Structure 1
Amino acid sequence: MANVYKFAWLNIAALSTGSDYEGFINEAREPRAIFGFRASFAAIIGTGSQDINRNLQGRPCVLLDGEVTLLWDKQSDLPGGGDWMAPLFTRAWVYQERSLARRTLAFATHGVFFSCDEAYYGRTSTFCAVAAALVDEALATGNAPSREQLQMEARDLLSRFDATWNGAVIDYTKCKLTKDTDRLVAISSTAHEVADSGIPREKRYLAGLWDINFISQLRWMTCEGRNTKPRKRIGTDGYVAPSWSWASIEAPVATCGAFYTDDKPIRFLADVTAADVKLATEFPFGAVRAGWVRLRGCLRAVSGSETHGTMGGTSLTDEATGENLWFASDTTEGYEMVASSAGLRKVVWVPHVLTALETMVECNVLVLSELSPDEETGDDDGTFIKPGEKVYRRLGMGNFGRIPSLFRQDKLLMAMGTYPEADEMEDIAREFVRNEVGFREFVII
């Protein structure tokens, strides 16, 4: 599919049709309605005087003698307008077509427009040209760079790569699929193209994520968990991806980009030590049968939960401190588990990322549920999961925090590590030392 759209001379897109049975050449093709009329400067300015040639002080004003031609210009369905919500763009299978095509002639409801690799500031928003742009910038160095410059450029490339893929995930998960089992397959050609870009050179695709800065890519969440059906489990019909992947749920997701430069106020509170997937075919960017990630971090128990109002959020109570943290479940399963005493006993949370901003010191967390000993883990040959190792499934994300002047009063924030005595937030984040007491390895499937 990548070759079809990448090497096609022209791609024709029928934006306004909902199916193959509808036409896209219609009577309402003219996108612009223009009405012209003339009016005096005085009428436009509104002097408030009976004598339109006099100003507000009643003095003669030559400027008010003139007239001007005015145009009322109505445009719709043009690039940058509502066409991005057109029926065609709600279909997930079309995302690859949009991201890989070099030239597109698009028929919208009220207009026709053209886009190509030079349509946006000389660079395209497609992955092909984005990858080329990154390579161009990486090679465009005058003098031999120093080691420090190379490190900075490498971090910058990684950051832009991560931001590019995060943007693709956000756009793609807004689209709909007839068969949810196609979720990884329908974006596989785009992922393949990204892998071929060589930025960064050594990277592996793992069910919608990349093993470059994997810990940061686990920072995704959805706001539609209360209406999202539970994800399928390993070995059942309809299984799509491991719980740590955004592809495991049928909902739009938001992602948080990576911060590679040293001056950004972010610190990771857990480490990814290994990750792997079992492919459904030989194609490394397609469907998977199972997936695992091993984290090293602190597993903290939950002693209670509370729902705040009929439309409010849900909070979890940390067993060790009695402090609360907000919880956003990926699906209805998470809310059901924390609402019952039996389910709550299986729930744990893991500190993930600490962020220090001018307005907030915040900690993002992963919320997990422990698997029963008889549940399928997908590790048939026993090469990934160690004997007796704890295995969990992701339920969702959580967070807690305080304003800068009060963060030292928060028991949970202080339990995350040691903070310097500095007042500047960037210094606090930069010199923060995480608390690794109780760190252990565990697996999420």
Structure 2
Amino acid sequence: MKTGIFVGDLPRSFQHAIVVTGWFHCRYLWIDSLCIIQDSTEDWQNESSLMRHVYKNAWLNISATAAADSSSGLFFDRKPSLVSAGAVFISWEGNLPTGMFYFFLRDFWEDGVGRAPLNRRAWVVQERFLSRRNLHFGSRGIYFECHVMEACETFPKGLPTFFKEALINRFKAIDVPPVPTATAGAKSFLRNWQKITNAYTNSSLTYASDKLVALSGVADEFQNMSNYTYLAGLWKECFLANQLLWRTRKRVSGQPSVRPSIYRAPSWSWLSLDANIPGSVIIGPSVLIEILDAHTTLVDDNSPTGQVKHGVIRVRGQLEKVYLQKVPRTRDSYSICEEDDKKTGLLTVAFDETAFRATQAYIMPVMFSRGDTLEGLLLVSTEQAPAEFRRVGFFESDDEETHEQLTKQDTENKIIFTIV
């Protein structure tokens, strides 16, 4: 391969990428599967840790966005007349303006880019985010995005302002403020990180073991610009208690959420699951726990955002052992009971794994959000060490009697325990 490669032997997408590289008179083209030795674990581990530099410093990222695989190519047969926005002359009654109006499909960007086959792959998230500019070859047109603008053949000078603000997630416009120590800066940091994690968890991986590595390039970028400590998808100094309150949703593939049998991340990290993690971090004013310590043990000390082999959060807070009974004819409502089946409260529960339903658990209240909604975690004992638990779900409750039972403010009701 160092001597030379016969272009005709390469997959169609690679051949087309060489053509595009020639259009821009570029001398070099990086293709992962050719530049990384595919059957060498050592080379893959070394190169995967450097990939953020490859994409961040590249002049252009060529995206086979509509391609299902490398045999599909970049170029698709299409009708050029469908690229332009439709035009129609309209005359209105009353004071509305009369003239030429243009129309287009509202979801054309999301259909052509956001939901296209390539961008449903988790590895592509960091490629798309880190690259200076992306040229997307879709089945109906060509799209362009950089940190300043988004454009396409329909709008070659840039998407209209109203469209950018209302209809698309401006993925490339994410700006990480340097050292966001102020509260407003920290909230903005988390909002931007959430845009990444939403896209990431809504994508799929061929190998579940790649979950942390495929995000490490973006995590490196966020860490370098913020000086926060990265903890397997969460940030230690940035409202960590609030970040614990993620919940799962069915994966984009339609498959149920599941934790792989081989350890990948601590249970308090959303990276421990193959699941879609929707929503955003809510910064509630009344946090009910104190995090005394939080750390991860890395597989490679030289890769602080890479794979981990252990993780611990040490908490001081309230922990209530309860029995859970499903409320009939409801989707996710559970009564909390004492051993004698006496009902003492009501929760809405989202278990982390679709197939797992605990009947006995420990409830850890974390905070009040949106006024009077209590949110927290469901834990079970690891039975490996005293006061050591693992996360199995998320709960919320709007029931005042439940609040009174679970949030006693007496200091003696708070204990110290760990979540792994």
Distance 1:254 1:353 in 2: 19
**Which residue does 1:119 correspond to in 2?**
149
Given the alignment of the two structures, is residue 390 of structure 1 paired with residue 404 of structure 2, yes or no? no
Distance 1:38 1:170 in 2: 41
Deviation at 1:160, TM superposition (A): 0.8
Given the alignment of the two structures, is residue 79 of structure 1 paired with residue 94 of structure 2, yes or no? no
Amino acid at match of 1:303: Y
Deviation at 1:414, TM superposition (A): 2.7
Given the alignment of the two structures, is residue 364 of structure 1 paired with residue 375 of structure 2, yes or no? yes
Deviation at 1:100, TM superposition (A): 0.5
Amino acid at match of 2:398: G
Q: Deviations over 1:45-85 (max 9, x none)?
A: 5xxxxxxxxx9xxxxxxx9xxxx776674458753554210
Amino acid at match of 2:141: G
Distance 2:312 2:414 in 1: 19
**Which residue does 1:144 correspond to in 2?**
none
Question: 1:278-357, aligned counterparts within 5 Å?
Answer: 278-282=297-301, 283-309=303-329, 312-319=331-338, 322-335=344-357, 337-338=358-359, 344=360, 347-357=361-371
Question: 1:27-426, aligned counterparts within 5 Å?
Answer: 27-28=77-78, 30=80, 31-32=82-83, 41=91, 73-75=103-105, 78-79=108-109, 82-119=112-149, 125=170, 130-131=175-176, 134-135=177-178, 154-197=182-225, 199=226, 201=227, 203-212=228-237, 213-224=239-250, 228=256, 230-232=258-260, 238-259=262-283, 266-282=285-301, 283-309=303-329, 312-319=331-338, 322-335=344-357, 337-338=358-359, 344=360, 347-357=361-371, 361-373=372-384, 389-402=386-399, 410-415=400-405
Query: With structure 1 as the length reference, what TM-score do the two structures score?
Result: 0.70
Question: Does the 8 Å contact 2:374/2:398 carry over to 1?
Answer: yes
Distance 2:337 2:172 in 1: 43
The correspondence for 1:22, drawn from 42, 67, 72, is 72
Cα pair distance change 1:25/1:321, threshold 3 Å: same
Q: Deviations over 1:246-274 (max 9, x none)?
A: 01111101254253xxxxx6311112111
Question: 1:4-15, aligned counterparts within 5 Å?
Answer: 4-15=54-65
Amino acid at match of 2:240: F
Question: Does the 8 Å contact 2:347/2:395 carry over to 1?
Answer: yes
Question: Does the 8 Å contact 2:250/2:257 carry over to 1?
Answer: no
**Which residue does 2:35 correspond to in 1?**
none
SS in 2 for 1:331: coil
Cα pair distance change 1:13/1:78, threshold 3 Å: farther
Distance 1:130 1:279 in 2: 28
The correspondence for 1:438, drawn from 410, 413, 416, is 413
Distance 1:417 1:314 in 2: 20
Distance 1:79 1:37 in 2: 22
Distance 1:156 1:35 in 2: 42
Deviation at 1:96, TM superposition (A): 0.3
Distance 2:257 2:316 in 1: 29
SS in 2 for 1:254: coil
Deviation at 1:5, TM superposition (A): 0.9
Cα pair distance change 1:401/1:176, threshold 3 Å: same
Deviation at 1:400, TM superposition (A): 0.6
Question: Does the 8 Å contact 2:66/2:137 carry over to 1?
Answer: yes
Distance 1:416 1:303 in 2: 14
Identity %: 26
Distance 1:229 1:119 in 2: 35
Cα pair distance change 1:230/1:316, threshold 3 Å: farther
Distance 2:104 2:287 in 1: 50
Deviation at 1:276, TM superposition (A): 1.5
Deviation at 1:303, TM superposition (A): 2.5
Q: Deviations over 1:345-395 (max 9, x none)?
A: xx11111111253xxx1100100111224xxxxxxxxxxxxxx63111100
Which protein has the larger Cα radius of gyration, Structure 1 or Structure 2?
A: 1
Question: Does the 8 Å contact 2:148/2:173 carry over to 1?
Answer: no
User: What's the Cα RMSD here?
Assistant: 3.2
Between the two proteins, the alignment pairs up a number of residues equal to 346
Distance 2:199 2:243 in 1: 16
Cα pair distance change 1:5/1:115, threshold 3 Å: same
Cα pair distance change 1:97/1:77, threshold 3 Å: farther
Deviation at 1:159, TM superposition (A): 1.1
Query: With structure 2 as the length reference, what TM-score do the two structures score?
Result: 0.73
Which segments of 5 or more consecutive residues in structure 1 lack a partner in the other structure? 46-54, 56-62, 139-152, 260-264, 339-343, 374-387, 403-409, 419-433
